[in-house]
Structure 1
């Protein structure tokens, strides 16, 4: 039996953001991945977000392009990320990087490995360089890790998905892709999503609706985000899916560890939302069978103190609502505009008995007991 956990980074975010100084204690998704105690590829993977210039392109199990700005603006590349994740689940790539890159060639040469010299092709004006072939590709090495270390077969018995921003939407997309795949349809899926935001024009059904293969959905949503084009998605879940959603003071980046007063840059000022979200991500992952090397282990007293601190800083969080990542802000009767499934509504409209707690995004800052529903 193998539990596989897939971490989807947000737009412009990578697996290396656990060391990014923009986040005072590491960006949440990449940091959680770095704390996983299992074997990479067999038990966990982390996937860079759209708009990261495809730094992982050589390692993907499917071919991807370099989408650059279109990745940042429109999410280009996340379909390939989902396909890569599907292939990782199945333990089989559909593409390999067979040619050596210049950096790899130079590294092997420097190490004294006997490889052929660079082949120069074309005229001096249109010169091209062929650095040779890999004897073993990255993909084949990773396939072998999967075959060796997954227990009782390559297909995992459970899949956990963690994602922020477009990474959260990627969790929705992957869960739906699994549901449509006869080999993966019956694998139980758990999702922990942090402010899933698809961007303008990206509210198709596979991004806003989930099927019965998702057994539990936990979502945290940034109450004070007002950037135009940053409507978050509260997905329509299937009957029987345990669905927990929580509001959190702060902006989109605040929830994953950016503690700046404006949610963008500056000294650590408002760290409590990120600490709370991290704690409950760890709580859920451990409950879902994930070994973690480092955890925050907040006590009930710690949680209460953090909530008291957020309440005391109410004016600072309110000031965040004037900030925008896209230069423009938007409001719905003074609240954040969100997508409930495919319907646009105001933030406080998202509540009801389909959620636990039923107060949904209206849950008050003093209601620390609302977290017990995740237990």
Structure 2
């Protein structure tokens, strides 16, 4: 298949700020082989990927997206007085002549996301030109986005379905998809994944409590024909795209995204956080997250603006991450050992026999875990990894009797519930 990749920055970010902040979207477009496709002077330059700057970004010499005609790539021009009064014609709309530069464009972008409409139109226009004008046999489009950029990916996929139907398939990696204000409830194209979207992986920040930052999660999104999964991840809104607290949330997210993008056909030329190169490595990183959920008080929204926007100074979870909702996302629910389905799948891949014994077995009781026991390999890993050992003990799955002997509960983590989506077997677990 011929793959084209679209990178969508979130509100307040563009390629320059993203790169200087080591933000996830920028890291990936900076490590994608090939050339950037561009639209300027009413002409499209061939390329392998494109970059959409975020609404209300910080400038750095880069134009706000709503100031650029999405059909030509040129600066928007003011309409004539007559058209200003009557409104642009159908022909004007067809070539993007809908009005001149906006006043207070940055502020409008931050508050309402103004500029993401232009990003959607520009993306589909560019792909059409590459496919039909330049003869590039694009039949798959991968998209990566964060925040409003993640929702922009959904909106692009919706417009692509209108234009191409299922002729071009899409895959989306979305980090904390937040439309802002009530857009996620009112705009239909932020709520549905059509059959052209083959795969969708959404990361959901568990501890972002600003009231205007409600995510597009399973309570809002319909994906009847898509292999889709949402992964709750500790931290606030930006903790998965930049290394914040807890750091492992960003490490896991970026490494997993790399593995998925490569599997989907995007040529990523470096591996982020290579210490997560196996399912076992992922398990140990998740074990640290299990421990931090019980220890950290630093996931709170601390900034003055964040608090004014509905943030909290206490360690709380978004609605989807409450007791009654986590069953939808993680087998075993909120009180299980798993942070999310990726965590569970990594453990099952790294330690299949132990996984079956503790989490799938219908048996009961305890069994000794020693260097001579049936699970001697797992004993060695647990002995060497304090995070794994302590996190399992925290959840009542393991008791340390001595450094040479642990007890594990047979069937101690068995589930009494089902969830909406299991981790798809065909998805890679790491880069």
CA contact (8 A) 2:14 2:58 kept: no
Q: In the aligned structure 1, how far is the partner of 2:205 from the partner of 2:140? A: 29
Q: In the aligned structure 2, how far is the partner of 1:346 from the partner of 1:365? A: 13
Residue in structure 2 matching 1:291, options 267, 282, 285: 267
Q: In the aligned structure 2, how far is the partner of 1:76 from the partner of 1:6? A: 19
> What is the correspondence of 1:183-222 to structure 2 with a 5 Å cutoff?
183=164, 185-203=166-184, 204-222=187-205
CA contact (8 A) 2:144 2:150 kept: yes
Query: How far 1:243 moved relative to its partner?
Result: 0.9
CA contact (8 A) 1:189 1:213 kept: yes
Residue in structure 1 matching 2:155, options 173, 183, 194: 173
Gap runs ≥5 in structure 1: 93-142, 148-152, 262-269, 339-344
In structure 2, the residue corresponding to 1:177 is in which secondary structure? helix
In structure 1, the residue corresponding to 2:307 is in which secondary structure? coil
Aligned to 1:370: 345
In structure 2, the residue corresponding to 1:180 is in which secondary structure? helix
Largest Rg, 1 or 2: 2
CA contact (8 A) 1:247 1:362 kept: no
Instruction: Report the structure, 1 or 2, having the larger helix content.
Output: 2
Aligned to 1:7: 7
Residue in structure 2 matching 1:225, options 205, 208, 228: 208
Aligned to 1:71: 109
Q: In the aligned structure 2, how far is the partner of 1:323 from the partner of 1:207? A: 29
Aligned to 2:25: 29
CA contact (8 A) 1:10 1:167 kept: yes
Note the alpha carbon deviations across 1:260-305, whole angstroms, 9 max, x for none. x4xxxxxxxx321001000111011001011111113422232122
CA contact (8 A) 1:12 1:51 kept: yes
Query: How far 1:349 moved relative to its partner?
Result: 2.0
In structure 1, the residue corresponding to 2:138 is in which secondary structure? coil
RMSD: 3.1
CA contact (8 A) 2:25 2:144 kept: yes
TM-score by length of 1: 0.70
TM-score by length of 2: 0.61
CA contact (8 A) 2:322 2:334 kept: no
> What is the correspondence of 1:94-243 to structure 2 with a 5 Å cutoff?
147=134, 153-154=135-136, 156-181=138-163, 183=164, 185-203=166-184, 204-234=187-217, 236-243=221-228
CA contact (8 A) 2:55 2:115 kept: yes
Structure 1 residues 190, 53: closer, same or farther in 2, change over 3 A?
A: same
Q: Greater RCO between the two (CA within 8 Å, min separation 6)? A: 1
Query: How far 1:179 moved relative to its partner?
Result: 1.0
Q: In the aligned structure 1, how far is the partner of 2:296 from the partner of 2:211? A: 18
Query: How far 1:225 moved relative to its partner?
Result: 0.8
